[in-house]
Chains A and B, each alone.
Chain A
Amino acid sequence: MLTVWAILIDGFIYASWLFLVAAGLTVIYGVMRILNMAHGSLYALGAYAAASALGLYYAGGGDQLWMAFVIIAVCAITIGAITGLAIERGLLRLMYGRDEILMLIITFAVLLILEDVMKLIWGTTPYFAYQPYAAMGRINIDVLTVSRYDLMVLVVSIVIGASLWFWLERTRIGKILRSIIHDREISQAMGVNVERMFTITFMIGATLGAIAGGITAPIISVVPGIGIEVIVLAFAVVVTGGLGSITGAAIGAIIVGLARATSIHTMPELELFIIYAVMAAVLVFRPHGLFGQAVARKI
């Protein structure tokens, strides 16, 4: 029974983190049809920015928890929005209309470049901003403990998911975006400024990636290469859920999170396969993921 509770708690906590990481990826794909491989680098950028700023703050004698969150939010949003804007305006804009797969490869090139840029800025020494994580303490349930920070990630994840849903389904911009998703050419013909919408979407997606990194920074030690590790995981989640669907990303994250938690608690040696196995199994039965839709060709 203990194990069942532990699986549920861990599964949902991990799922919330996965969703944070994957949300930006799926938003960008949904609107722009770009599977952004550099998403992991934005995650890493957010993590580095937050970790180094937190390091400065604590080294300067700061010890306010709320201030730490302000720092994380400000750093992540700033760096995410700026980098997102730079990538979209400086590069992707030149390439719109090309194959989806070519866009994937372009973002792969961006990933390679950003990896080294980060190394040049932050070096290779791990950044370690554990203070907020440690300061928030934990809740004990029998021998199990749950970190309050992890619970906060869960809450943030739900808030972000709900806001994204609200933004896409209930606002004017969301309506425009959905029309772009439905038919780009017709929206353009109806006078929608598709390029501007793309800029906004990419910045938001990039910022989501950076926020995921920033919020993860106090949990982990920030080292070169974390972005590459994260991106495949995020891919697995969005492909399982259905590319471009926020609900899909959420469900995909929960499935992957629970599957992984089950495996770790009961058969730790299977952990490495479980994510890919889930993804492969879902794709076998639903070739476009759980919430994905095939696009028919016009004849």
Chain B
Amino acid sequence: MTEILKTEGLSRYFGAVTAAEDISVTITAGEIVGVIGANGAGKTTFINMVTGYLPPSKGSISFGGNPIKGLGPRKLMRKGLTRSFQIPQLFLELPVIDNLAIALAAAEQKQFQMLRPVRTPERLGSAEEILEQMRISQYRDEMVTAMPQGARKLLDIALAMLGSPRMLLLDEPTSGVSLEEKYTLMDTVMEAVHARGLTVLFVEHDMEIVRRYVTRVLAFANGVVIKDGPVEEVLADTKVQELVTGKYHEHKNPGGDA
């Protein structure tokens, strides 16, 4: 079992506000880790820091044994660390197939090619393959604007998978998706994850989903990791119940907010 991601004393302050404080976590390759916590507990801040969107105020991060603090999303993606978003980050006014084609071109480091069409037969093939895998083939030639939220979430995750990453951070993959669709969506995603042998860390509010798909859980509260361990152990913790899950159950469906 090799360590893939390790943070030590990772902290982030916005002026006087502490968004994340002293987060030290080690993730092993192949793990599926859930991140839970109330809104504002520091989950997204943590993901943003790890993926280079937000510079940490303090602490260190290493990926695959190499320090990555200070690297931007671009360099991290090349190292095999990437993410999806709570609000899908897609090219709304482009056809779905082009969303994928450009991601594939970028993965091949061919983003500066000027005279060859981005839609090469090979790329179209790979794109169709992942659409198939994500079960959104029917939107192939549609604009992203024509897709429902669930399909957008899947496309967002598909884009993240195209750069052949080793580790994927999913920010609330099921938020904004109806209760019935959640499990199908997660099944589809996990199938793709397992097919690629990825390490996954994902933020989730729905404890049922956490229970079903995750082996280990990080519980965040007030910017601090209050508990880290196997699912049942964390969910049974009284402090977690008080600060995370208890609060969670009062708001049944918190998706959609930033």
Q: In the bound complex, what is the Cα–Cα distance between A298 and B87 (angstroms)? A: 8
Q: Give the residues from 63 to 107 in chain B that come closer than 8 angstroms, CB to CB, to chain A.
A: 85-87, 89
Residue of B nearest to A299 (CB): B85
Q: In the bound complex, what is the Cα–Cα distance between A298 and B258 (angstroms)? A: 7
- Write the nearest CB–CB distance from A182 to chain B, whole angstroms: 14
Residue of B nearest to A298 (CB): B258
Chain B positions within 8 Å of A299 at CB level: 53, 85-87, 89, 171, 258
Residue of B nearest to A297 (CB): B89
Chain A positions within 8 Å of B258 at CB level: 298-299
Q: Is the interface of B mostly helix, strand, loop or mixed?
A: loop
- Write the nearest CB–CB distance from B150 to chain A, whole angstroms: 18
Q: In the bound complex, what is the Cα–Cα distance between A136 and B87 (angstroms)? A: 62
Chain A positions within 8 Å of B85 at CB level: 299
Chain B positions within 8 Å of A298 at CB level: 87, 258
- Write the nearest CB–CB distance from B176 to chain A, whole angstroms: 13
Residue of A nearest to B48 (CB): A299
Chain A positions within 8 Å of B89 at CB level: 299
- Write the nearest CB–CB distance from B62 to chain A, whole angstroms: 24
Chain A positions within 8 Å of B171 at CB level: 299
Q: In the bound complex, what is the Cα–Cα distance between A168 and B130 (angstroms)? A: 52
Q: Is the interface of A mostly helix, strand, loop or mixed?
A: loop
Q: In the bound complex, what is the Cα–Cα distance between A299 and B258 (angstroms)? A: 7
Q: In the bound complex, what is the Cα–Cα distance between A299 and B88 (angstroms)? A: 7
- Write the nearest CB–CB distance from B35 to chain A, whole angstroms: 16
Residues of chain A at interface, number, CB under 8 A: 2
- Write the nearest CB–CB distance from A106 to chain B, whole angstroms: 20
Q: In the bound complex, what is the Cα–Cα distance between A299 and B89 (angstroms)? A: 7
Q: Mark A260-299, 1 if CB is under 8 A from B, else 0.
A: 0000000000000000000000000000000000000011
- Write the nearest CB–CB distance from B83 to chain A, whole angstroms: 9
Residue of A nearest to B86 (CB): A299
Q: In the bound complex, what is the Cα–Cα distance between A299 and B53 (angstroms)? A: 10
Q: Mark B179-214, 1 if CB is under 8 A from A, else 0.
A: 000000000000000000000000000000000000
- Write the nearest CB–CB distance from B45 to chain A, whole angstroms: 12
Q: In the bound complex, what is the Cα–Cα distance between A299 and B85 (angstroms)? A: 6
Q: In the bound complex, what is the Cα–Cα distance between A298 and B88 (angstroms)? A: 10
- Write the nearest CB–CB distance from B246 to chain A, whole angstroms: 27
- Write the nearest CB–CB distance from A184 to chain B, whole angstroms: 15
Chain A positions within 8 Å of B53 at CB level: 299
Residue of A nearest to B44 (CB): A299
Q: In the bound complex, what is the Cα–Cα distance between A50 and B237 (angstroms)? A: 76
- Write the nearest CB–CB distance from A181 to chain B, whole angstroms: 18
- Write the nearest CB–CB distance from B189 to chain A, whole angstroms: 19
Q: In the bound complex, what is the Cα–Cα distance between A298 and B44 (angstroms)? A: 12
- Write the nearest CB–CB distance from A125 to chain B, whole angstroms: 50
Q: In the bound complex, what is the Cα–Cα distance between A108 and B55 (angstroms)? A: 41
Q: In the bound complex, what is the Cα–Cα distance between A298 and B86 (angstroms)? A: 9
- Write the nearest CB–CB distance from B17 to chain A, whole angstroms: 15
- Write the nearest CB–CB distance from A88 to chain B, whole angstroms: 28
Q: In the bound complex, what is the Cα–Cα distance between A37 and B85 (angstroms)? A: 37
Q: In the bound complex, what is the Cα–Cα distance between A152 and B53 (angstroms)? A: 52
Chain A positions within 8 Å of B86 at CB level: 299
Q: Mark A17-36, 1 if CB is under 8 A from B, else 0.
A: 00000000000000000000
Q: In the bound complex, what is the Cα–Cα distance between A221 and B27 (angstroms)? A: 75
- Write the nearest CB–CB distance from A156 to chain B, whole angstroms: 39
Q: Mark B47-61, 1 if CB is under 8 A from A, else 0.
A: 000000100000000
Chain A positions within 8 Å of B87 at CB level: 298-299
Residue of A nearest to B88 (CB): A299
Q: In the bound complex, what is the Cα–Cα distance between A144 and B78 (angstroms)? A: 67
- Write the nearest CB–CB distance from B105 to chain A, whole angstroms: 23
- Write the nearest CB–CB distance from A294 to chain B, whole angstroms: 14
- Write the nearest CB–CB distance from A279 to chain B, whole angstroms: 30
Q: In the bound complex, what is the Cα–Cα distance between A298 and B48 (angstroms)? A: 12
- Write the nearest CB–CB distance from B15 to chain A, whole angstroms: 14
Q: Give the residues from 140 to 179 in chain B that come closer than 8 angstroms, CB to CB, to chain A.
A: 171
- Some 6 contacts from A to B, beta carbons below 8 A apart, are A299-B53, A299-B85, A299-B86, A299-B89, A299-B171, A299-B258
What are the 3 tightest A-B residue pairs by CB atom distance, in nearest-first order?
A: A299-B85, A298-B258, A298-B87
Given A298-B87, A299-B53, A299-B86, 6 more contacts at CB 8 Å?
Answer: A298-B258, A299-B85, A299-B87, A299-B89, A299-B171, A299-B258
